[in-house]
Amino acid sequence: MKRHVLIFGLVGGLLIATLQYTEYRFVVIEHSIELYGALVAVLFAAFGIWLGLRITRRREIVRERVVVREVLVPAEAPAPLATDTVPFAPDRAQQRSLGITARELEILALVARGFSNREIATQLFVSENTVKTHCARAFDKLGAARRTQAVLRGKELGLLP
């Protein structure tokens, strides 16, 4: 701040010396309104530049303080199937007796694997509302109120592994 005052004082002194050199009285008396207007314009321009630099400097400081942290999550490798094991096949008779469709069973299997409705929708290329509808219908057919109950009931009936 002191440096700014010193610079402005020196510039003012140079301007005054220049005015005296160019017949100070003539310039001041004849052109006082123009000089006053120019002085006000210079002061406002200087203040505007100073304020603009100060505001943008603060924003840059804030941007520099942003910390990005990367969290590494280990990917789970799928468990390899043994050669002597047979993949799980749902009990088709039980599925028909309950009236569960293949799509509802597929969504129920993904629910059992812990996927959210959004993840299931992304994986099956359907809307989230479609997944909710299939879940609700499957839950009704299984007599379950919650996801965990539906999965447990599906396992008990042989529909899920």
Buried b (16+ CB within 10 A) or exposed e, 77-97: eeeeeeeeeeeeebeeeebee
Across the chain, the runs of DSSP E, i.e. the strands, are none
Residue 107's pLDDT is 92
Buried b (16+ CB within 10 A) or exposed e, 119-152: ebbeebeeeeebbeebbebbbebbebeebeebbe
Residue 94's pLDDT is 79
Residue 60's pLDDT is 47
pLDDT in tens for each of the 161 residues of the chain?
Answer: 778 888 888 888 888 888 777 766 666 667 778 878 888 999 999 999 888 888 887 554 445 565 666 666 666 655 554 555 556 777 788 778 888 898 998 999 999 999 999 999 999 999 999 999 999 999 999 898 889 889 998 888 888 88
CATH architecture of 92-156: Orthogonal Bundle (1.10)
Residue 133's pLDDT is 93
Structural contact between residues 138 and 108, judged by C-beta atoms closer than 8 angstroms: yes
Residue 76's pLDDT is 67
Domain ranges of the chain: 2-64, 92-156
Is the pTM here over 0.85, yes or no? no
